[in-house]
Structure 1
Amino acid sequence: MKPITTCIVAGLQYLIHPQKLGSIQETINSDAIIPITLLTTDEVFGDVEGILQLFDSYDDVFTPDFGSILVEKPGGNGSHGASVTAREVYHLDLVMALEDLAELPSGPYFLHGPNLHQAWRLYDDDLGAFTSGVIPDDLAQPDEFQPLTSSSFQRDSNSIPVPSRLYHPRPSPRKPLSGIRVSISDTIALKGTYTTFSSRAWKSLYKYASTVTSEYARELLDLGAVIVGKTKTSQFGTGAEWVDEQAPWSARGDGYGGLKGGSVGAAAALSGYEWLQYSIGVDDAKAVPDKGIYSISPSIGNMSNGGMITTSRFDRPRLFSRNLEGLLGLAAKSLGVETREFKFPTKILFPADLVSADETQRTALDAFVSSLQDFLGVQLQRVDVGGTWAQYPPIEADNEDMQTYMRLVGLTAVDIETELTRVGTFSLMVNPFIEATPQFFWNQCKSITELEHREDIRRLEIYRKWFHEHIMRITSAPKAQNDALLILPCGHSVETEHRDEAVAHWPVRVPDGREVPAQERQTPPGPHVFNSASKPTGRALDRPKDYINRSLAPNITPPNAERSATAASVSCLDDKVGVARSPRRESLELPHTKYRVKSFSPRESAPLQGDYPSV
């Protein structure tokens, strides 16, 4: 790891990239740090003021202070420089040109002693969206990266380094993302950096940097993109409590709106930082992380997940942009999508058996569908998915209705081998802390046999094939018109959830000294619904023993305690999963229900099965 030097210029924080690019002819103090502007001979003896003003308006790294001292590139005649400009002019002697560049680009640099270095501006991560900023060890061929986790000079936050926009040539067919600043998810491998999973236990167990770069990150680098940092994910991609790490702050409203999903860091960073152009997250595409940005996820199996540490077979990269045009450009260039022969869909499908329960959401969806129909010139077709299944069921279903046949496939068809290995790896530690939500899913994995898992995967593939054939009518025939567009009324309510909402009601003291519990929801044993991305909490929750099945207020009616504890259901509308609960104290506690607070009991771990795959 190379030593990092930082400094302040005109009140702004800068990082001096450790790679030496050249040296000047003049002799100066070896410890001196001088901001300079590198120019060609023609630029030095031309309209210097105009060039510097252009740099200042175009580049967020350049400031007028860099223009106080100029360094002339070699190859020109600088003998009369002092008479042409009032600025001091140094002359570059030894040059280590970067790949694909005939000469070093004009722009802001630092002289550290007589040596020339790139200037990288340090931005404060005020939203807490990043796990760390990164810089490449080699500017010409970025292969290995160095994480930058030092705090800001002025605030208690990480600093994210970005290079000057002047260092990179214009986008070309060979490098269409030249100079584009991109962040990647914490779970995307980048050589030299670390994956944290927002877990202290994980970080203490895996202390070694990654030795490889993921295939998609490598593709971004080859296309000329600049990876500036890695963004936070919820714990193991499924957590919602944010105990070991602080959740990213939202750039919307007062900042206290709750963010959801595995790509919360990527969404928060792009929403709040104008200096970032795109961000790449990794999640299962169920939750919308933040408002005001656009995202797209490739279909499962359409791109390699090599080098991405995922917790579910449904996890895949999600590309974020602040506008649709930029999102199309990023997807087309980085995913190899051909847009020149693109044809608009000729069918709009809407599942009639899925209806949003939120009136505001339905109104917005109806307006969107109306605009889409006008734009495409086609009418909406409502399809009854369940009815179509009943009329044309797959042979393998053996006349079972769709809900019965699919059961909990969406919940249990996770990558059980990876999950059990990860839980088993944690068994090497003594009671590693795991948030309630990932603990719930891991316990589900431990309760599923390999035979059950294989059966669920088989049913999922059967359903996928049936859905393509009877709903989307996708075919592999030559010149087939596979151009149907399906609209899903999914997503969360338009009501904002705030991160400071209470998750438990504490006892209150009355004048006679007695403590009585505040009003809280009583939940007897039975199947109940929880929201995997609901209200954050940092404590384990346990039901109060003294008040079970007791109404604390006239308007509170406990649910039916006689319901079966084995029932379970899955709702596709609002990402809520119904699960069974046992009345025993040692049973799995569901997250995000309002119980009284109690300390954690020791957690069980599955036996280690094989080695965890290296990253």
Structure 2
Amino acid sequence: MSTPSTSTLFAQEHLVATIGEVAYYVPNSPSHLESTFRDFAARDDVFQTGFIQEGLIIIPTESEISGDDPVPDDLKEFLDSHSTSLVFCQGLLDVPEGPYFVRGNHLRQAWRLYEDETLSFITTVIAHDQDSFRAQNETSSFVKELIVQGAVIVGKTKMSAYTGSEVPPEKTIDYLAPFNLRGDGYQGLSGSSSGAGSSIAAYDWVDISLGTDATGSISIPAVSYGVLGIRTTHSAFSLEGVMPSVPAFDTLGILARTSQEILNVYRAAGKIGSEYSKPTQIVYPTDFFPMKNDQQQHMIEEFLHALESYLEVEHRRISLAEEWTKGGPDDARTVPLDKYLEKSGYWPNFYDGHHVYDEFISGYQKRFSKKVYTSPFMTSCWNEVTNAIFDECERQLGNDITKEERDRGLQECEIFSPWIYSKVLTPEVIMLLPLGRPGANYRDSVGNATAGPPSTTFSPIYFSTIIGAPQVVVPVGQNPFESRVSGNIECAPIVVSLIGHKGADVTLLRVLKATLDYHDWPSEVLTGRNIFHFGNNARNLARNPSGLLPKV
């Protein structure tokens, strides 16, 4: 009898599971198999005892089995009691451990089915006979790499049409928008990647959600759903195979419930090195702080003090506008910073955000002999609204903004970016930025029909976009409010944002994780109603269930 290889399989007619990383494993007794099955049941949320009933146990071997029967009598009795057979298979099987289906001559991973209660997904992903997944026209190179590293893609989440900011109740037309489980379950959405945020906030079986971020498509959902998010350094990851939105601003975005999950993505992509240096400065821009709500501002200051304590530095308050006036580029600083940047990101965002779809719009018209449908909200973004008759408008906002203005905006970004990196956001610096609402944002509230990104670029939402900086969003507290939906006291997520120098993504994530751990603050966001257990402290949170929400 030859010695089996390091992987063993067991199967059931149309079901298979692998037993991997067991060096020279030979099942010589029922206890060996039972121990393996218990291990699977403990580690794998898909495996169950049905996989060993009326099945096969397949042991890959390095050469053909010969000689005496290698199966002991007591093991035969065990197998017979489960109507299961033992099969030795010559050759190595390069498949990961876990439950499988057998379909024809192929092994297919068995995936658990979950109900999408929050309507986060637009479609699921299922296995195909010939390939790991159904053939698509193109899969992004980054997602391909994650699959190679062992990631399981469970589906594609809902997003706003044309990467706009469509939110309920009146802006989402083609399908019902995802639900936000936070608070009373009827809180609103924001940003285009609403399904990505909803899935992370609702389901503990979803570890990360991916998207692109041009002007808040990832960072803003992180705010609404109270989860961790990162807008990566521009061009840090390949966007090959990704539908563009605003090419000059597009970058990968990741949502998760822990910073460690995001770090795992960077590690899988080979983006984490062994070197790590603590930032030595914290910049607090008075152009954007303090926030109007006292409770929200206080929670952000609590985090700021915790950050100072971990880094052993005090924050530095500066006015970006004043720094610009004193030391900006000679040919630009005569214009106040808020005026200089007013349309720098706005023009490219709307010009490219419209014209990137030119080929699709014209192709749709040719193929179907009719205009492509756009919701009233997206029509208002694309059209110069006149008398609210969208279809009769001839001047589109994307066209109303000229290419010259678009190019001018990008040129202004190219002038501002090296200045901010050399004078303020140097490699040893991290900067705080404010984001988010302090309380209720009801799903059924009809807002401004043309609401979208800020009309001025000099804002926290556009800031990391126009300089290509990494931006991390982290929940730091929860603010109670009386809900008109539930009639109870509910909690709104309170977040803070950190940005750093280009390429400082991992530094931001490590600083964030270390700060939370250093002060024994919760480092994992919960799924469901609240982002943290309620606690009787300034930030209304606790590591473990310890307090109850106050009653109305």
Match of 2:550 in 1: none
Contact 2:10 2:18 in 1 (8 A): no
Supply the AA of the counterpart residue of 1:439: T
Q: Distance in 2 between matches of 1:136 and 1:225?
A: 14
- Going from structure 1 to structure 2, the CA distance change for 1:390 and 1:492 (only over 3 Å counts) comes to same
**Aligned with residue 288 of structure 1, among 216, 221, 224:** 221
SS in 2 for 1:439: helix
Q: Distance in 1 between matches of 2:255 and 2:230?
A: 7
Match of 2:329 in 1: 394
Alignment of 1:216-235 (within 5 A): 216-235=142-161
Question: 1:346 offset after TM fit, Å?
Answer: 0.4
Match of 2:76 in 1: 82
* Structure number with higher relative contact order (C-alpha < 8 Å, ≥ 6 residues apart): 2
Match of 2:511 in 1: none
Q: Distance in 2 between matches of 1:44 and 1:487?
A: 61
- TM-score, scaled relative to structure 1: 0.60
Deviations 1:48-99 (Å, cap 9, x if unpaired)? 3333222222211112222333422245723734334532222336678543
Supply the AA of the counterpart residue of 2:341: M
Alignment of 1:439-518 (within 5 A): 439-442=379-382, 443-472=396-425, 474=426, 482-489=427-434, 491-502=435-446
Question: 1:366 offset after TM fit, Å?
Answer: 0.8
RMSD, aligned CA: 3.4
* 1:68 is the counterpart of 2:53: yes
Match of 2:485 in 1: none
% identical aligned pairs: 23
Match of 1:336 in 2: 271
Alignment of 1:251-330 (within 5 A): 251-284=181-214, 285=216, 286-289=219-222, 290-312=224-246, 313-330=248-265
* 1:92 is the counterpart of 2:84: no
Supply the AA of the counterpart residue of 2:402: T
**Aligned with residue 350 of structure 1, among 280, 284, 291:** 284
Supply the AA of the counterpart residue of 2:119: G
Q: Distance in 2 between matches of 1:462 and 1:122?
A: 51
Deviations 1:326-382 (Å, cap 9, x if unpaired)? 2223223326132x2111100000111212222222111111101111111100101
Q: Unaligned 5+ residue runs, structure 1?
A: 1-20, 25-31, 147-191, 194-209, 475-481, 504-527, 535-567, 577-615
Deviations 1:162-211 (Å, cap 9, x if unpaired)? xxxxxxxxxxxxxxxxxxxxxxxxxxxxxx34xxxxxxxxxxxxxxxx2x
Q: Distance in 1 between matches of 2:150 and 2:100?
A: 21
Contact 1:250 1:256 in 2 (8 A): yes
SS in 2 for 1:88: coil
Aligned residue pair count:
413
- TM-score, scaled relative to structure 2: 0.67
**Aligned with residue 124 of structure 2, among 133, 137, 141:** 133
Alignment of 1:97-116 (within 5 A): 98-99=93-94, 105=97, 107-110=98-101
Contact 2:15 2:55 in 1 (8 A): no
Q: Distance in 2 between matches of 1:111 and 1:221?
A: 21
Alignment of 1:580-591 (within 5 A): none
Supply the AA of the counterpart residue of 2:99: P
Deviations 1:493-532 (Å, cap 9, x if unpaired)? 12131222356xxxxxxxxxxxxxxxxxxxxxxxx99642
- Report the more deviating stretch, 317-326 or 39-48: 39-48
Q: Distance in 1 between matches of 2:85 and 2:18?
A: 9
* 1:431 is the counterpart of 2:424: no
Supply the AA of the counterpart residue of 1:411: Y
Supply the AA of the counterpart residue of 2:194: V
Contact 2:10 2:58 in 1 (8 A): no
Q: Distance in 2 between matches of 1:23 and 1:288?
A: 43
SS in 1 for 2:287: coil
- Going from structure 1 to structure 2, the CA distance change for 1:113 and 1:572 (only over 3 Å counts) comes to closer
SS in 2 for 1:426: helix
Question: 1:124 offset after TM fit, Å?
Answer: 2.1
Supply the AA of the counterpart residue of 1:391: K
Q: Distance in 1 between matches of 2:252 and 2:377?
A: 21
Compare the two structures and name the one with the higher helix fraction: 2
SS in 2 for 1:495: coil
Supply the AA of the counterpart residue of 1:261: G
SS in 2 for 1:108: strand
- Going from structure 1 to structure 2, the CA distance change for 1:62 and 1:22 (only over 3 Å counts) comes to closer
Match of 1:239 in 2: 165
